[in-house]
Amino acid sequence: MKRYLFDYRSVPHEKRTLILAAMLFGSILSYFLITRFILTVGEVEGDSMLPTLRNGERYLINRMIYQFRDPVPGDIVEIHLKALDDFSVKRIMASPGDVVQFKGGRVYVNGKIHPEPYLTEGVMTDGKALGVNVFKVADNAYFVMGDNRSVSVDSRVFGAVQRQQLVGRLWIW
């Protein structure tokens, strides 16, 4: 006969129900806390991040990372667009205080060509949606763009996003 550290049969029925209810409540609370503050699952909707992310792909959002470090260019992030009450996935192109310029179909940050190995060859970037070809990123804000420049609605349209709009950094598998 096997011996167990805890034998539920020795606990009265009323206490078993209470233990089960406490375990269920703890599980639900843990799930809520983890998905609200640590990790969330998301799904790509649309083609604005092609070829990096495809429509329907799933990803994890690390909601805690920016409590420990600042966002950096190259991070793929989920942002909350308050005006639309919607969420979107974009890549950080520039940090607070940076100057973004669009010239000859290329993106320049602080006067240097921004390397973009993730773009499909021959992709040209147009900044005319902003009405200017030079944009200075405000304090506590980030300039974000989609990888599929021809269809992406991003900072070229709505301007830089505030840090508090960054939901978290994507973990892609």
Q: Which of 30, 88, 90, 152 is the catalytic position?
A: 90
Give the span between the Cα atoms of 117 and 65, in whole angstroms.
24
- 90 strand-pairing partners: 77
Does residue 112 carry a catalytic annotation?
Answer: no
Name the nearest CA neighbour of 146 among 122, 116, 166: 116
The one catalytic residue among 48, 88, 95, 155 = 48
CA distance readout (Å), 173 to 3, 52, 87, 102, 148: 42, 11, 20, 31, 20
In the residue annotation, 48 being an active-site residue is answered as: yes
Q: What amino acid positions are annotated as catalytic residues? A: 48, 90
